[in-house]
Structure 1
Amino acid sequence: MNYTKEMCVFLLSNKELIEQESLTEHVEATVFKAINRAISNRLGERSPWRTRFGLVVEDEDGNDDTVFAPLDWPTKPGHADLAVFRLAETDPNANSYWLGSALGLNGCTLCFEFWMDGRPAGPSRYKVKQHLEAFLKEKEVLQKAGFQFTKRGTLTLPFTLDPVVVAKEFPDLKKSLEPMTAALETVLKLMPEFDNFVKNTLPA
């Protein structure tokens, strides 16, 4: 990242911030607690789900990711993920705080990502990627909703929080989460499409 002279002067003029990396982490944790709580509350209205809500801030079970899937979607042995929606960054190689991605910094944003793995009995991970790409091309409703096929073979629905609105509401975030909640509603509305895809691609 390139820093302007003004940014450097601001830091030097506010020396108490020099050792405050934890300040960024505190703000980031507050924002993601609100995001995870909002997703959890919404999914609580629709059951049954298999969920984890620990991205950035580990949940009480020690999970460090935020994932959800209908309970009847198949899993790997030991209930490991096989097909899920997860909270992710649009750039998997982003080397920055999750908070930066949430606010759309450095060309990266957050997204709801539909991820599916292969399995020994088939189809392979490579075949799954091919099926997913074809699925998006065939389903105009997904394209219109904003879903994108990624190089890593997933489908993503990006969203960005407005830094100005987040700053105005902090720490009690509600309205500032609307871009995320709108994206979540889109995912839930289109869940029947994904449900059919999962069950046709990974039959029991």
Structure 2
Amino acid sequence: MRLDWVPATDRPDLLAEPVRVALERLLAEGVLEPPDVEVAEIDPDLADTAELVEASGLPMDDMANCIVIAGQRGGEERVCAALVLGTTRADVNRTVRKALDVRKCSFLAMDEAVGRTGMEYGGITPLGLPAGWRVLVDEAVPARGSIIVGSGLRRSKLRLAGTVAARLPGAEVVPGLGLPV
């Protein structure tokens, strides 16, 4: 299976609404340029990273996963997204917990993550997350020439430079975020 990449602005139908709105805003502000973010349509059954790699032959270290994590401190909820390469897993119990400055944190439940992001489960991406959310980006991500991540929908994927992911609103590069699988 081969993915046909086109500028994401050419296929807004392949983007979740918050992703499309964020992309348009970042383009208008000059933060991004049209070729910075590409999109490709996929079979929704291949939204899972491992399944897409198996079907497409793409390298696992080109893949990135975005997960939503929350914790509380003094009754205040602290939410972030963590972006790590497909060959790693987010260090939730140490690195994320420390970054959020909470005693305990965990993945948001699927229904809650979907409802709060406006994106489909299996397609959550760092582009278009709610305002004010921190996006913790593993230090290995900006070093990648390009990464493939969700589009907000299960039926497509985005491709962008790792350096672009590190420049998205709320993004913070965090050493040690991704642990080897």
Higher helix share: 1
Bigger proportion of residues as strand? 2
Q: Which has the larger radius of gyration?
A: 1
Q: Which has the higher contact order (CA 8 A, sep 6+)?
A: 2
TM over 0.5: no
Task: Please give the TM-score of this superposition, normalised by the length of structure 2.
Answer: 0.31
